[in-house]
Amino acid sequence: MSARWVNLSEREPAENKQVQVIVVRGSGDGAYDIEYELATLTPRGWRFEGKPTFTRVVAWLESEQALDREELVRVPKDNLRF
């Protein structure tokens, strides 16, 4: 299976599993700033590995292998809903 971004509105990752996520901040004009973060979905919400600038999670990475930042950027973001 190739890596793909999964919208949170489609389904959530398994609880307590660390995944790469896309976090966003909207600018009000339809444009979004995005960042990639490591996070774990817990019963109390998202727990981030670091201290992200943005915390609105819109998608998580479904992949059988760990990807570095360059590879994350290249994973298609078609059909993501912000």
pTM of full prediction above 0.75 = yes
Q: Which residue stretches of the chain are H helix? A: 69-74
For residue 79, being part of any structural domain is answered with no
Domain count within the chain: 1
CB of 32 closer than 8 Å to CB of 23 = no
For residue 81, being part of any structural domain is answered with no
Per-residue pLDDT of the chain (82 residues; tens, 9 = 90+): 689 999 999 999 999 999 999 999 876 666 778 899 999 999 999 999 989 888 899 999 999 998 999 999 999 998 888 7
What residues contact 5, with CB distance under 8 A and at least 6 apart?
22, 59, 60, 61, 62, 75, 76, 77, 80
For residue 28, being part of any structural domain is answered with yes
